[in-house]
Amino acid sequence: PPSEALATLWVGSLLPTVTDDDLFDAFAPYGFVTDVNLTEQQSAAGTLQAHVKYSYRSEAEAALSASLNRQLLVKGKAVMCRWAQKDIVSLAQLKSAAAMQQAPAPNAAGAPAAAPPPLYSNVAGCNYIAPKIWIGNLPMGTTEADLRTVCRGYGGDLVDVIIHKKPSQYGQLSGFLRFKTQLETEMMLKAISSGAIVVRGAVMKAGWAKGQQPL
């Protein structure tokens, strides 16, 4: 690959009905998937392509090896994989760049610049994507409704929930959560890390997703 630290794969020959969740489910058995970028435009052959990023290069190597042996299936179809030219840009980096672009310049009279807009996620009327956290130690059968219920009890307003369908070798599920604001995200991460949040009788684990921890 172009870099020893590179942990992102290009994925091709995807069916047009493939979703982000399908990719998470297919690639999760080989390591911790931190990001998935799926293109909406179909190729001349009617297929889609995507980029899948892992926490570590060794995990990406395992997935690449499986694809070369035609063992990596997405929706029942073998897919093509190769090293991407570069890693996916993290949401934290995008947020930083967007904040710089949105910063107002001082006016001619030298008056203080207007305060930047509040930092919310990109739900309707909001300005950017709030950081996401990884969650683990979820019992089999855990649903999105379960997670929304326990988080709401601690004041967390969930925007996005992803639960990997395939369990770990220990029979536990994992996924990602995104809250409406960074403040809520940090508050909920503290609550989960303290062992205060229990889902279906199991203490949930959590941490910042790769590349998501605010600077």
Q: Which long-range contacts (CB under 8 A, 24 or more apart) does 148-151 make?
A: 150/197, 150/198, 150/199, 150/204, 151/177, 151/179, 151/188, 151/197
Measured CA to CA, the distance from residue 128 to residue 193 in angstroms comes to 25
**3-state class of 63 per DSSP?**
helix
Cα-based torsion angle of the residue sequence 36, 40, 46, 50 in order, rounded to the nearest 10 degrees: -20
Dist CA 158 CA 130 (whole Å): 11
pTM over 0.75: no
Q: Do the Cβ atoms of 164 and 22 come closer than 8 Å?
A: no
Of the candidates 79, 80, 120, the one whose C-alpha atom is nearest the C-alpha of residue 98 is 120
Buried b (16+ CB within 10 A) or exposed e, 42-59: eeeeebbbbbbbbbebeb
Angle at 19 between CA 32 and CA 39, to 5 degrees: 95
Q: Which residues pair with 177 in a beta bridge?
A: 133, 161
Please tell me the distance from the alpha carbon of residue 59 to that of residue 75, in angstroms, as a whole number.
21
In tens digits, what is the pLDDT along the chain, a chain of 215 residues? 455 678 899 999 999 999 888 898 889 888 878 788 888 788 888 899 999 988 888 889 999 999 999 999 999 999 999 998 876 654 444 444 445 545 555 555 555 454 443 333 333 333 345 677 888 899 999 999 999 999 888 888 888 888 887 787 778 888 888 888 888 888 888 888 888 899 999 999 888 876 666 66
User: pLDDT of 52-104, one tens digit each?
Assistant: 988 888 889 999 999 999 999 999 999 999 998 876 654 444 444 445 545 55
Beta strands in 45-186 (DSSP E): 48-54, 73-74, 77-78, 80-83, 132-138, 158-163, 173-179
pLDDT at residue 1, as a whole number = 43
Cα-based angle 69, 74, 78 (whole degrees, multiple of 5): 35
Looking at residue 123, its pLDDT comes to: 36
Torsion region of 65: left, alpha or beta (phi above 0 gives left; psi -120 to 50 gives alpha)? alpha
How far apart are the C-alpha atoms of 202 and 172, rounded to whole Å?
A: 10
**Coil/strand/helix, residue 13:** strand
